Structure 1
């Protein structure tokens, strides 16, 4: 492409309206300059795979969008298991996976002078990876890890693994431990943290641990809070006499329960299921 250089062009290749009184001619729009502009525009349409249509004003805009790489095409979010099918034109995707959170421990009825305290469940693992369209293929199975079950007179259940096919996986967090018939003051730590994720070529981490369950006296007890995930907090801790709170953020742990001798059997909180977020780019 070139600047206008026909008769009457100003210095530097600019247009001028001319000055009839002063004898300065207006710039002449030449065929070679117009053809040059036309062919440059046609090259953009060709690169974008757009067939030029007379009278259609969006041809150039469509071609620029189609030929621009690296722009965000679409975001697909999965909170239940299913199948991921890439959006047409996707060249690569950033995949975020969050494993299911562990459930909080429940309680039994302790003997006089003792307490039953349950720890919260741990958060599931977290991973983020970049994958080319060729690696993803036509589709991939989506598996969302369920949250761990609430413990009832038992430890909380472990969260399940979230995965996108075999490309990237995030294991679930461990359930909270129950500490029954414990002398006070005492504390109860959480259960096993999640296993390490796989496929997280951008970032990966095991899940965060839950907070301690505390028994200060037989009248002052706290169930442990659930472990927080990348997507939000776990179940908040509760005082004795209340069931454990459910995990809040995707993949966070449920809280534990706490019981005094005069209390009854209480359930812990359910862990929150995981999630997959897929950001697709041209």
Structure 2
């Protein structure tokens, strides 16, 4: 147990100290003793007031910091111990935020005991298009968004591997978009969204949103919208993720997803020129970490 050198004075039963009422009325309390002899009871009262609060604060420092609280005149050390005691006595305090948008290693900051994580997979790529009539692939579907897991865990390791899912590739010509990659930390995962689909020559459905695993809350990513169903042609927009909307379907080229984990938009060619147009790439995922004491 840590040592506390700061002791209260005159706290025993029947101690020779002035009553609180008399101390409140004592003129020397504001002016100090100007001349003559001070009553021992008056002096003892002042000493007890100062020493008692000092002893209480010092004991708080020792109990919560684990440091010895020494009466050696070392003010910087005493101040550092007080700051440490205040931090350690306030569990659950948000102390830092860390985000990963690429693979890496998470090393918890000193004092971190628990973390909240938001893990989102990569968005799917938008489908491309190439055709000369409504009987061909002229409007690609939007990519689905990555799933998002929100979870908590106690920090028991010195570091944790972090994987961030890449955005799905854009569909080139009459080809569907690629699937987004999976993001994961400590078993909490957000899976990538599917690319804008190509179920047939004129059936270009939006990609399905990714699922999530291992979180306290597991949210699926939003679907991309269909680009074409037979003769019905609609620009395929990318699916929305936890972080926001996806890329829109675009003439002669889909728009890439902008928010983390969102899907890319499909490409469409209203002129049916026969040219090859690419969908928009899905946006990569993210691993977002809040550190708590």
Aligned residue number for residue 33 of structure 2: none
Asked if the contact 2:164/2:287 (under 8 Å) is kept, the reply is: yes
- Residue 281 of structure 1 corresponds to which residue in structure 2? 292
Structure-1-length-normalised TM-score: 0.81
Q: Distance in 1 between matches of 2:60 and 2:111?
A: 17
Q: 2:115 aligns with which of 65, 68, 93?
A: 93
1:177 paired to 2:177: no
1:142 maps to: 162
Contact 1:168 1:199 in 2 (8 A): yes
- Further displaced range: 98-107 or 55-64: 55-64
| Residue number in structure 2 paired with 1:191 | 207
Provide the rounded CA distance (Å) in 1 between the counterparts of 2:42 and 2:266: 82
TM-score, scaled relative to structure 2 = 0.79
Unaligned 5+ runs, structure 2? 1-7, 29-38
Q: Measure, in 2, the Cα distance between the counterparts of 1:222 and 1:38.
A: 75
1:118-267 to structure 2, matched below 5 A, reads: 118-134=140-156, 137-152=157-172, 153-165=174-186, 167-178=187-198, 182=202, 188-194=204-210, 196-201=211-216, 203-214=217-228, 222-238=234-250, 240=251, 242-259=252-269, 260-267=271-278
Q: Give the superposition deviation at 1:216.
A: 10
Bigger-Rg structure (1/2) = 2
Q: How many residues align?
A: 261
**Root-mean-square deviation over aligned CA pairs:** 3.0
CA contact (8 A) 2:208 2:224 kept: no
Residue from 52, 55, 58 that aligns with 1:39: 55
- 1:58 Cα deviation from its structure 2 partner: 3.7
Distance 1:111 1:132 in 2: 58
CA deviation profile, 1:34-64 (whole Å, cap 9, x unmatched) = 3331221112212124555633484434421
Shift of 1:140: 1.1
More helix by share: 2
Aligned to 1:117: 139
Matched position secondary structure for 2:212: coil
Alpha-carbon distance change, 17 to 263 in structure 1, aligned in 2, over 3 angstroms: farther
Q: State the Cα deviation string for residues 2-49 of structure 1 (Å, max 9, x = none).
A: xx99414129xxx525358xxxx9965344443331221112212124
Answer yes or no: is the 8 Å Cα contact 1:50–1:62 preserved in 2.
Answer: no
**8 Å contact kept, 1:116–1:178:** no
Go from structure 1 to structure 2 and tell me whether the alpha carbon gap of 1:18 and 1:112 turns closer, same or farther (over 3 Å shift): closer
